Amino acid sequence: MHTKKTKINLKLYLAWAACFWLCSTEVHAMEPPEAQKIDSLFNVAFELEQNFPDSAIAIYERSGKMAIEINEPLREGQSHHYRALVMFETGDYDLALIHYNIALDLYKDAGNETGIASVQSNMGNIWLLSGDYEKAVDLYFQAIESFKALDDTLRLLISYLNIGALFYDNDYPHEGLNYLRLALPLANDLQDKQTLAEINHSISLNYYKLDSIEHFLYHMQKARNYAINSDHLYIEMLTYNSSLQYHIDALNPDSALHYARLTVDAAQLYGNPYNLSGVYNMAGSAYILANMNEKALEVLHKAHSLAEKHGFIPMLAWSNENLAKVYAKRGDYRRAHSHATMLNELKDSIFKKEQQQKILSMDRKFNVAQTQNKLEQKQLTLQIRDQQIKRNRAMILFTGLFSVLAVIGLFLLYKLHKNKSRLASKELEKERLEREKHMIKALMDGEEKERRRIARELHDGVNGNLAALKLNMSGLQNNEFSSLLEQTMAEIRDLSHNLAPDVVKRSGLKHALEQFIYKINKAPELTVEYQFLGDEGAMPEELRVHLYRIAQELLTNSLKHSGANHIMVQVIISEGSLNLTIEDDGRGFEINPEKGLPIKAEGIGLTGVENRVTFLQGSLDIHSSTHSGTSIHIEIPLTEKIAV
């Protein structure tokens, strides 16, 4: 049967996208030709969904009529289910609900439990968007129990994400984190980077509500890296939007405008009307912060129009609130009053306190039922174990002791041989890595010595000669020549200090980077934003020098090649690792998909960075494109295994 995947796109500031693999049944070798034709039409419609949704719906409708003719309730149910998913993506929620209900009845007739649970969860998404949280949570819990019974890890994982999003939406971050922690081990087992991006983004937002900024930034960066590496545009867009919200709250207008541009570009590329409405609202807040009222009105009216057209009540309230602010600032009190009145009328219809209490009540009921189910499951497991023990004893007596010993002996010989081979391979790999590490270290040590030698020559030799020249010419009254000489000596001192940054050893990595960035920020055409979170006290001195060199090289590359107006440098020391992120809004470059590095890495000086990261047993992720500049993320483990 046809297997199908689609994304459920809810509130922009949520960190999840429900991606449901729809009901599938085992394909029999002798399917009738009519059934095979329906499945082929399903595949054709699926390919058309994204770019030609109306054509996809027409083909699903035709497939449903064919299923009725051959008395196939399962395929007929799928045709309605698939139509509903396309209608949801295009924002036609009322019509999607009608087809979901028809699909639900047909799945029940066909006895397809997976289809029933999938429809329940998808319908829950619509009720969540409509603000009926009691219906949404009831359907989610029904789906969770069904997916548990079916041992369906993927759908169970996404159901936990939906519940976590619902509690986040109603300002219960602790409860939201509880469900996300249930989802995280399931996602790790699947090794799905897109799902890991969604979970980390959800976790970061809950930490933001709890004012845990370090955890927020850490998980936000992980989410963005997973999203970029897996081409998950939806979550990439959400991470930009969350960073935008953070900078608006922190009253950083320049950074807010930078992320507003990234968010709008990604949302327009993605195309979902709900997301676009939210992005325009958020961008309007950034323009208000930057006192760009005309630009704010432009995007806020776009948000208002989309929200009004599709019935997005929370988005409509948000746009009315912002429009009232802008018109009041401009002195247009008539329009400000009009939007304020619309806002007050909408307030009573969203986020009711009674609904929030009902959700918590249902959650407690669910937890009680879950505990009872666990106890019953333990009792059943003990009974099954007793029966297995009895059967095993009977089998041992029946097969005979000598046969068992022979099998065990052969098995042990095989395992011993296999373990020896595995150990030998591991030793060879370990030796190879050690050789590479020593070669890289020797290369970097030589480079560092040469840097210091050149620094000494510049400082003691060239600068000393210039100082002597200045002394000997002190009698000459040539101010222009004297000023040029002073400037040259200052530049040589700066170059000498950059080549041999003793400030890293004296004052630490944070202060050294701060000084380096301060000098860059003197240029009026460029802004470098710097954040350093965490304690570097336990880091070895040589590790700090390596990290300074990496940051210095990446910033220099950006200054030389990107033409950026804004650069963000972020260092986070947390949870046994150090994360260095450098992003700019300049010109990107082409990435080699096999190596994950620029095609001309040597030309822009990234080979040395890669060598240092490899030596430090870290990871290097690079994302670059013309619409979003360049983002480089480096993660270094802070463990005793790293001996620098």
Query: DSSP states of 87-122 as a string?
Result: HHHTT-HHHHHHHHHHHHHHHHHHT-HHHHHHHHHH
Task: Report residue 49: phi and psi, to 5°.
Answer: -55, -50
Of the candidates 136, 30, 73, the residue with the CA atom closest to the CA atom of residue 363:
136
291-315: pLDDT as tens digits: 999 999 999 999 899 988 888 888 8
Question: In the numeric block, which tokens belong to residue 311?
Answer: 């019935």
Residue type, 217: L
pTM of the model: 0.50
User: Cβ distance 209 to 228 under 8 Å?
Assistant: no
Query: What does the alpha-carbon distance between residue 129 and residue 159 come to, in Å, rounded to a whole number?
Result: 16
3-class secondary structure, 142 = helix
Give the DSSP per-residue string, 453-511.
Answer: HHHHIIIIIIHHHHHHHHHHTTTS--HHHHHHHHHHHHHHHHHHHHHS-HHHHHH-HHH
The residues of the chain scoring below 70 in pLDDT are 1-31, 131, 347-503, 592-605, 626-628, 639-644
What pLDDT score does 429 carry? 61
User: Cβ distance 512 to 504 under 8 Å?
Assistant: yes
14 — alpha (psi -120 to 50), left (phi > 0) or beta? beta
What pLDDT score does 468 carry? 52
180-215: pLDDT as tens digits: 888 888 888 878 888 888 889 999 999 998 999 988
3-class secondary structure, 630 = strand
CA angle centred on 89, ends 86 and 91, rounded to 5°: 110
**Count H helices, E strands: the chain?**
24, 9
Place of tokens 């042990």: 412
Query: What does the alpha-carbon distance between residue 84 and residue 8 come to, in Å, rounded to a whole number?
Result: 12
What pLDDT score does 19 carry? 35
Q: Which is it for the CA torsion 308, 311, 314, 315, positive or negative?
A: negative
Q: Which is it for the CA torsion 376, 378, 381, 385, positive or negative?
A: negative
What pLDDT score does 18 carry? 33
Q: Report the Cα 621 to chain-centroid distance in Å.
A: 13
Interacting residues of 203 by C-beta distance below 8 A, sequence separation 6+ = 15, 177, 180, 184, 215, 219
What pLDDT score does 356 carry? 45
What pLDDT score does 333 carry? 84
